[in-house]
Amino acid sequence: MKLMIPLATAFTLLLCPVHRTSLADDAVETLEVSDEQAAVDEADADESGADESDAKEAEVPAEDEAVEYKRVRMAHIAIEGELPESPGQMTLFGDLGVDLRKTIARLDKAAEDEQIDGVLLEIGMPMVARGKTNELRAAIGRVKASGKKVYALLESATGSQYLLASACDEIVMPEPGVVLVPGVYAEFSYLKEMLNKVGIEADMMHVGDSKGAAESLMRNDMSEPVKQNLTAMIDDVYDQLVTTIAGDRELKIDEVEAIIDRGLLTVTQAHAEHLIDRVAYPDQFRAQLQEEYEADELVYVINYGKKKVDTDFSGPMGMIKLFKTIIGGGSQSDGDNGPTIAIVYAVGPISSGKNQASPLGGQTMGSETIVKALQQAGDNEDVKAIVLRIDSPGGSALASDLIWRATQTIDKPIVASMGDVAASGGYYIAMGADRILAEPGTITGSIGVVGGKLTWGGLYEKIGVSSEVISRGKNSGIFSMTEKFSDTQREAIVAMMEDIYRQFTTKAAAGRDLPLEELEALAGGQVYTGRDAKRNGLIDELGTLQDAIRVAKELADLDPEEKATLEILPEPENPFESLFGTDFEAEREARVLGGMAQLVPELSEPLRRAVQWRRAMSEPVSLIMPFWIEIK
């Protein structure tokens, strides 16, 4: 920012009445100087001697001339912890949670804000996979395209941290920090022997040679088809990692690969290898930044763009204001009265019923909730197009099909936008869209079916539990927890799974306008990155959620550059709904497993996955990824 100060009075600034403005005021401000102070300055000039008066008059500018007082404002945005795709549950003071969309909106606001000169991105330990990382990188790119510099501040850098930082103009780290560009590491655990030791046996079937969702329960190692498929996927993820870093840091491919193979680097070593730009403590960096911007004042706008809580409920309208704050919800606009685009968030393992969420188990996608949200958007005359944002490994075959069917009943453009994962059932609900977009690192595909059950008879015997059965009908015990499937029961289950697989491949081929034989060659449970899915025709474009909104506008014959009002669905549950509509089973589950996680913190992530797996596998036949894949 710039302030105007008369030269003749600059040295007596502390004696002058000063007009200052807040951080939100205009970039150029003027210090007001009194007439009395101007007279003192004039008297001082007279005392310098008559023989030098002409020279002095030439050197001293008129009072209305000024020097620039430059104030630079940097937007501070922290990226830390989980960044969920969809808005969370409403609090008593509205939707205050941090999610991916809000974080990106803050970056976009900084790009357009004329009072912001640059962005400080403080990167902690964000829990983001490749899809979300790419969304954030694209938002950083938009800030840079606006002509403003983005600085990444880190204490340590590994994996996604470094991928985010490398998108910035500069990476700044203190000397004691560490840099680890670890390559790609995927680990798969097998539970058959452990289950057998306690008397539990998995009786599972699958359709698709690479559909290995049940392998972790039935084998002690990876089958060859699954290994070949996952190896190809990991190769593409690694190639994306290397080429991205090489492009960002202007390094050669072999140089990046050599750095990855070196492993852990000190900050000094990372600086020498051109992985980071500056070695400095925060106070040193701030001083350097002020000098480089030639600023008289450098202002950090902490938590830039983050929603503030208004807790003043006094006065006659206080109760009404409190009630409106609690209820919350509604549209969220990117523009003024522009066309409305609905964004329907389909997040988590897929099950029948309503969406569920718990601190431990995370979010589960309920077909009832998502179908209702799609129908709500379809019935709203103001909504011109729908973006279905998917982050799901799959789940119930029935629930997936019900969501797919809802997309077919809506006479409006629907664009599917894939986040970190849109596999199996997650791909199923996308394939009915008019256009499908994915991130380069999205995990997708996995067109296949898995089904079966765990039998507990051996465990019951070990602990002294016995049972007797009275039944009528050859297949009445098909869901028995103590006995494996009989031959006739197995035939019935396999026949149903094969029919679901036929529906899956037929609908996918129709949705992608591919011959069935070509689609079947891509199916069989095979998993792909978004980039490979684009190559083989399973998706239409690589792009972010912003790109999907642009495509939705084009399909609705709207100006893609016109800002839109975004209708976010399903609407977050408010506290009243939580209070009077509690899912007691989910609450009990969260309480018990949450206590276990507190006792043994290392179990929190495995327990969360176990809860989501149980929900996703709550039906006999499921469309779910071959493994819970975590790429580090």
| DSSP reduced 3-state for 440 | coil
- The region of weakest confidence among 8-17, 109-118, 248-257, 524-533 is 8-17
- The pLDDT score that the predictor gives to residue 611 is 54
Cα–Cα distances in angstroms (integers) from residue 455 to residues 462, 564, 617, in the given order = 13, 53, 14
Q: Is 26 exposed, middle or buried (0-12, 13-18, 19+ CB in 10 A)?
A: exposed
Of 349, 368, 364, the C-alpha closest to 422 is 349
| Domains in the chain: boundaries | 2-65, 72-182+263-301, 329-448+496-622
For the chain, what is the total number of helices (H) and then of strands (E)?
23, 27
Of 288, 293, 392, the C-alpha closest to 346 is 392
**211-244 pLDDT per residue, tens:** 988 899 999 999 999 999 999 999 999 999 999 9
Give the whole-number percent of the chain exceeding pLDDT 70.
Answer: 73
- The pLDDT score that the predictor gives to residue 302 is 95
Residue indicated by tokens 């392998």: 215
Domain 72-182+263-301 has CATH 1.10.10.10: no
Residue 585 pLDDT grade (very low, low, confident, very high; cuts 50, 70, 90): low
Average pLDDT over every residue of 107-123:
97
Q: What is the architecture of the domain spanning 329-448+496-622?
A: Alpha-Beta Complex (3.90)
Domain 329-448+496-622 in the same topology as domain 72-182+263-301: yes
| DSSP reduced 3-state for 631 | strand
**246-298 pLDDT per residue, tens:** 999 999 999 999 999 998 999 999 999 999 999 999 999 999 999 999 999 99
- For the chain, the average pLDDT equals 82
Alpha helices, DSSP H only, in 364-471?
Answer: 367-379, 397-408, 425-428, 457-462
Cα–Cα distances in angstroms (integers) from residue 16 to residues 5, 19, 33, 39, 61, in the given order = 11, 10, 6, 13, 19
- The pLDDT score that the predictor gives to residue 197 is 94
Q: How many Å is the maximal CA-CA distance in the chain? A: 124
Q: What pTM, to 2 d.p., does this model score?
A: 0.80
